[in-house]
Amino acid sequence: MITVRVPAKVNVQLGVGGLRADGFHDLANVFFAVGLFDEVTAEPVGPGEGVTLSCTGPDAASVPLDDSNLAARAARLLAAHHGLADPGVHLHIAKAIPVAGGMAGGSADGAAALVACDALWGLATPIGTLLELAAELGSDVPFALLGGVALGRGRGEILDALPVAGTFHWVFAVADGGLSTPAVFRECDRLREEAGTGSSEADVPTPDADPALLAALASGDPVALAAALTNDLQAAALSLRPSLADTLHAGTEAGAIGALVSGSGPTCAFLAKDAESAEAIAAALRTSGTCRTAHATHGPVPGAEVGAPTA
């Protein structure tokens, strides 16, 4: 039995280009791995059973346990790549990352399943191959393998690790219910059309990483990072879920030095000046009535890695 722990991500910069002919958007996506973890445990099952799944955690009821689950797809993809006709594995997901929360929880489980099955089956697949398989599963999956902080280009799947000094302290306010990532991108396009700027590749400049943000990460300065946080999907997430403005306000009132919607939302992310402040902001958010719960944590943390189960 192999257990892999895998982190959630927040996008400290999410620059969204125009809609491409293939339906995707070019992104300048600075991923940051934070200490909110799912665990995926892989265990052998009898011949002919294929890939079976179970899931526990507060959001378990929203996790599909069919062939669409990214962990199951990852196991099948790895087995097919190595010509294993009968994968014979049970995957258990201990889920702490909010589902459809803009923190790439499904992608994290896909990455964790790749690492767990690779170890269980003794395949020793090179990391370059695992990254290619991860990119086939989804744009956010390769980053969950790497962790740390990285710049993603293209759909987000072309990754370059970025230098970071020290540790940053974060708070995540978890909303009731999720937001569909494709729906948030569609709303972003709609708002651009409504504003008269256009939403196609020809209308929107190709986004690039913000030098001020990269400098803030490299220097470990939370105030500079807070000032550089940007998310081009934030207006769309707020348009679909206006109550998120109250969540952002509550965290800022409680002392956050930076606040933004995480990815496509609805989780809201707050940067704190230190660990003590992060705990105070999380406590204030929990009683604010503007979110379901809030977690104080830190990052960057490593990507998917084999370890002992914590529960």
Between the alpha carbon of residue 171 and those of residues 121, 143, 256, 282, 298, the distances in Å are 37, 21, 9, 6, 8
Which position among 7, 105, 207, 222 is part of the footprint of ligand ATP (CB under 6 A)?
A: 105
Is 140 known to be catalytic?
Answer: yes
CB of 254 to ligand ATP, least distance (A): 24
Tokens of 59: 């959001």
Q: How far is Cα 245 from Cα 175, in angstroms, rounded to an integer?
A: 12
Tokens of 60: 């378990």
Q: Please give the distance of CA 125 from its chain centroid, rounded to a whole number.
A: 24
Window of 93-101, 145-153, 200-208, 293-301 that interacts with ligand ATP by CB under 6 A: 93-101
Q: Which is nearer to ligand ATP, 178 or 299 (CB)?
A: 178
Is 9 known to be catalytic?
Answer: yes
Q: For residues 111 and 105, is the Cβ–Cβ distance under 8 A?
A: no
Which position among 58, 64, 177, 205 is part of the footprint of ligand ATP (CB under 6 A)?
A: 64
Told to check if 152 binds ligand ATP by CB under 6 A, we report no
Q: How far is Cα 189 from Cα 166, in angstroms, rounded to an integer?
A: 37
Q: How far is Cα 132 from Cα 145, in angstroms, rounded to an integer?
A: 11
Residues 123-142 that bind ligand ATP (CB under 6 A): 140
Q: Report the alpha-carbon angle 204-210-216, nearest 5.
A: 160
Q: Which is nearer to ligand ATP, 163 or 182 (CB)?
A: 182
Which position among 6, 51, 71, 146 is part of the footprint of ligand ATP (CB under 6 A)?
A: 71
CB of 266 to ligand ATP, least distance (A): 9
Q: Which is nearer to ligand ATP, 183 or 195 (CB)?
A: 183
Window of 96-104, 193-201, 232-240, 302-310 that interacts with ligand ATP by CB under 6 A: 96-104
Closest CB to ligand ATP: residue number: 106
Which position among 99, 214, 282, 285 is part of the footprint of ligand ATP (CB under 6 A)?
A: 99
Catalytic residue (one of 38, 140, 189, 232): 140
Q: How far is Cα 8 from Cα 53, in angstroms, rounded to an integer?
A: 20
Contacts of 282 (CB under 8 A, 6+ apart): 171, 294, 295, 296
CB of 57 to ligand ATP, least distance (A): 10
Q: Which is nearer to ligand ATP, 109 or 189 (CB)?
A: 109
Which stretches of the chain are assigned E, i.e. beta strand? 2-19, 25-44, 51-56, 89-94, 149-153, 158-161, 168-174, 230-231, 258-261, 268-272, 293-299, 305-306
Residues with a catalytic annotation lie at 9, 140
Chain residues binding ligand ATP by CB under 6 A are 63-64, 68-71, 93, 99-107, 109, 140, 178, 181, 263-264
